[in-house]
Chains A and B, each alone.
Chain A
Amino acid sequence: MGEIARPRPGALARTETYLDWNATTPLRAEAVAAMSAMLARCGNPSSVHRWGRVARQEIEQARSAVAALLDAPSEGVVFVSGGTEANHLALLGSGRDRILVSAVEHDSVLGAVPEAERIPVDCDGVVVLDTLDCLLAADPRPALVSVMLANNETGVLQPVAAIGAIARTHGALFHCDAVQAAGKIALDAHTIGADFVTLSAHKLGGPPGIGALVVIGELGLTPLLHGGGQERGRRAGTENLAGIAGFAAAAAAAAEEIAVYERVRALRDALEAGVAAVTSEAVVLGAVAPRLPNTAAIAMPGVAAETQVIALDLDGVMISAGAACSSGKVGPSHVLEAMGVGPDLVGSTIRVSFGWDSSEADVDHFLRAWTRLYRRCRGSSCRARAA
């Protein structure tokens, strides 16, 4: 098979193994098709002439398709530039002064309100519900609670329905960052029980540069970006027409193919089993908690994550040492630290994440490269030390 040839959009060349799907995914064929029509079309969706009206129709259709992913009302969908902006819009625009966020949230939530109160997680990475209850009970100010549905580094799922119920008991709003969960597990707004849900297109086979904050119910939102009054005054700026169309097509395809993730779960489990078969030293973080079917956070104790990532890259296996967005900042993962993982393990954990196009060959490739690395770095020294 050719090294450059990529047979179809949304599929990968088989010479390299891409296991960094939580960072971004290839564009689904459905999204390519939807975008190709929109990219070639001129017209500002706010214009009253026909070019504008046609664009407006496309956007409203897409809004319904994105809402359908959550079984939410379409008028609640606010298109924004991505998950980071959506998280900011929820935390800064809800009108609540008191913000509580879990300790394992994505940087885009932590960065939106740095002074937010932190809700601790247990050693499995799951929010401690009693503590959340106490925190909310201790301060009568109206609050917003922000907890992600699935963690981007470990895949650990939060008990969002219970979190939402506790928030409601205390009159707090609940924002749920569902960026990593959407498209990987079946979702609906009622089960999540949130007032605001964040979605990102490029994590589910849509293009980068587009996402949504879905407002469930009749809640007001103070805009982050002021201007022409687009998105019912909730987000100014000319709509990213092609991005929105691609997002909608990808969301629809992802919802339709959600069953694929049972196969993905088997691949992920096989990979973890394969690692465990090589050595009992390896640790899968968050393994006890309910998790996304596609994510594995694996520590190779004593070997720096950076070393692992580079070695695997040289072997053609693409993974990451955690969140992608740190832009060169190499620091310990706040997610693992919040789980009480010791510094040794924190510094030696990599993230392996699968997608709809992953295969058994990917698992084999990873295991070959990982085992080689393990034997090189640990095999001899461990035996020597044990002796």
Chain B
Amino acid sequence: MPWFFLQSARGMSSVTAAPARGSEAHLGNAMPIYLDNQSSTRLDPRVLEAMLPYFTEQFGNPHSTSHAYGRIAAAAIEEARAEVAALIHADPRELVFTSGATEANNLAIKGAAHFARLYPQSGQPRDHIVTLTTEHKCVLESCLQLDREGFRVTYLPVEPSGLVSLDALAAALSERTLLVSVMAAHNEIGVIQPLAEIGALCRSKGVLFHSDAAQAVGKITLDVEEMQIDLMSISGHKVYGPKGVGVLYVRRRPRVRLLPLIDGGGQERGLRSGTLPTPLCVGIGRAAAIAAAEMADEAGRLRRLRDRLQAGLARRIPGLRLNGDAERRLPGSLNFCFPGIAAIKLIEACPAIAISTGSACTSASVEPSYVLRALGLSDADANTGIRIGLGRFTTPAEVDFAIDALAAAAGRLAAEAAVAGQGGCTHIGS
């Protein structure tokens, strides 16, 4: 690997310092400890190594198969496609490379709807889509767009745990329902939906099942056959791969038909035109292969770190409350309400750790998280929600540092609030 790439990738799990401190030296001080792995993950050096030759020596256009450079690139892409397919138990031919999960979600939802409208089946037209109020913005916004185009959308509420009620879902389905879109694992609260049950329900009603699995892929076992998933979105940069690449799984049997969003050269079997970015495809492939090999061990390690963080915080912060189902959740994901402490203040008080109030897309917004609101939290409580995401490069020392930093800041802020006489927080036990 050339030195210029290695230099900044090395030493990312240094224990006491913030990750990759050396490479950020020019910024004046250390970068914060990265505990926001839901919003993005660090590129694994092994993934980077796999990508590099395709940035430099093997730069051919994978669609220029008239010469060797193009054929080498094309072969690398097909290998990557197979690696991603293996991770989700799909056939490589069922995978469409996209620019990311947002595009994959847009393609799945709009593509299925537009196809159904253009080529209606006999009988009732299928023009109804069911999704959850807690879905990612790109799913909700895609549905909203279809709403504007005359489709009917049901936004199903969730249980206080964040999980979908299967009875409510079954009741929402009708003869006209085309598609159900339910996130596999949640980006803010980490809860894992009952995918196999949803898949079985959808299949029995002839409804397509799409799952945004950007957060789940590589972290929990996903099997599109067993779970009867018809469409599934995957993101590169959420699984220690590069930004700018994603995958949409599109079932072949029974065949799921989509209209493309981006048409032109006819790449990706006509479902997504545009020159494929070979290094990014190779990156998501390698990331998938690493995740497949290491998932079991890594999940155990992360679960232990997560439990350590949760126990450490609960011990020191009275009234701390976990949001979302306590059991059915991603190994590295936590979302807490710090009673009476505005999340944004807590984040400001802890500049040495990178955490967030929720989805990065909306984290700059002053509105309380719509996800926490959907769990039944009041605006005031939702405003105290903090998301913490542990990842592959998180160390026990970093977790301990975060416990100290958060507990100290929370204590200070609670004391300040008490002095100011505005400590009207709502404790709901711990």
Write the residues of chain A forming the contact surface with B, with a CB cutoff of 8 angstroms. Answer: 4, 6, 9, 16, 18, 20, 23-27, 32-33, 35-37, 39-44, 46-52, 54, 80-85, 87-88, 106-112, 114, 202, 207-210, 224-230, 236-243, 306, 309-310, 313, 318-321, 323-329
Query: Out of A83, A238, A318, which one reaches B102, CB within 8 Å?
Result: A238
Interface size class of B (residues with CB under 8 A): 35 or more
Determine whether the beta carbon of B266 is less than 8 Å from that of A327: yes
Give complex CA distance A290, B278 in Å: 33
Determine whether the beta carbon of B68 is less than 8 Å from that of A16: yes
Give complex CA distance A325, B64 in Å: 7
Determine whether the beta carbon of A39 is less than 8 Å from that of B264: no
Determine whether the beta carbon of A51 is less than 8 Å from that of B99: no
Query: Out of B65, B274, B280, B364, which one reaches A328, CB within 8 Å?
Result: B65
A208-B278 contact in complex given A44-B40, A51-B31, A85-B99, C-beta closer than 8 Å: yes
11 new A-B contacts, CB < 8 A, other than A35-B55, A237-B138, A309-B67, are: A23-B64, A32-B4, A37-B23, A39-B9, A47-B356, A81-B100, A88-B264, A238-B235, A318-B66, A318-B69, A324-B70
Confirm or deny: B50 has a beta carbon within 8 angstroms of a beta carbon on chain A: no
A51-B263 contact in complex given A40-B9, A208-B280, C-beta closer than 8 Å: no
Measured CB to CB, the closest approach of chain B to A330, in angstroms, equals 10
Q: Nearest CB to that of B350 among chain A residues?
A: A49
Determine whether the beta carbon of B347 is less than 8 Å from that of A33: no
Report chain B residues within 8 Å CB of A306: 66
A24-B275 contact in complex given A85-B99, A313-B67, C-beta closer than 8 Å: yes
Determine whether the beta carbon of B243 is less than 8 Å from that of A242: yes
Write the residues of chain B forming the contact surface with A, with a CB cutoff of 8 angstroms. Answer: 2, 4-5, 7-9, 12, 19-20, 23-24, 27, 31-32, 34, 36, 39-43, 48, 51, 55-57, 59-61, 63-70, 98-103, 105-106, 136-138, 141-142, 144-145, 235, 237, 242-245, 261-267, 273-280, 347, 351, 354-356, 359-364
Determine whether the beta carbon of B5 is less than 8 Å from that of A111: no
Report chain A residues within 8 Å CB of B275: 24, 82-84, 202, 208, 324-325
Give complex CA distance A328, B69 in Å: 15
Report chain B residues within 8 Å CB of A207: 55, 277, 279
Query: Out of A4, A36, A46, which one reaches B8, CB within 8 Å?
Result: A36
Query: Out of A4, A40, A238, A310, which one reaches B40, CB within 8 Å?
Result: A238
Determine whether the beta carbon of A324 is less than 8 Å from that of B64: yes
Query: Out of B31, B263, B354, B363, which one reaches A112, CB within 8 Å?
Result: B263
Report chain A residues within 8 Å CB of B70: 20, 23, 318, 324
Determine whether the beta carbon of A238 is less than 8 Å from that of B360: yes
Q: Which of B100, B243, B245, B363 has the most CB of A within 10 A?
A: B243
Query: Out of B4, B9, B42, B105, which one reaches A227, CB within 8 Å?
Result: B105
A327-B63 contact in complex given A50-B351, A81-B244, C-beta closer than 8 Å: yes
Report chain A residues within 8 Å CB of B63: 23, 324-327
Give complex CA distance A95, B24 in Å: 44
Question: What are some 18 contacts across the A-B interface (CB < 8 A)?
Answer: A9-B55, A23-B60, A36-B5, A39-B8, A40-B9, A44-B360, A46-B363, A47-B354, A82-B99, A108-B273, A108-B274, A112-B263, A208-B276, A226-B144, A228-B359, A242-B244, A318-B70, A324-B70
Report chain A residues within 8 Å CB of B354: 43, 47, 49-52
Give complex CA distance A317, B148 in Å: 52
Give complex CA distance A238, B39 in Å: 9
Determine whether the beta carbon of A227 is less than 8 Å from that of B23: no
Q: Which of B8, B105, B242, B262 has the most CB of A within 10 A?
A: B262
Report chain B residues within 8 Å CB of A239: 243
Query: Out of A23, A37, A225, A229, which one reaches B361, CB within 8 Å?
Result: A229
Determine whether the beta carbon of A51 is less than 8 Å from that of B32: yes
Q: Nearest CB to that of A202 among chain B residues?
A: B275
Report chain A residues within 8 Å CB of B279: 207-209
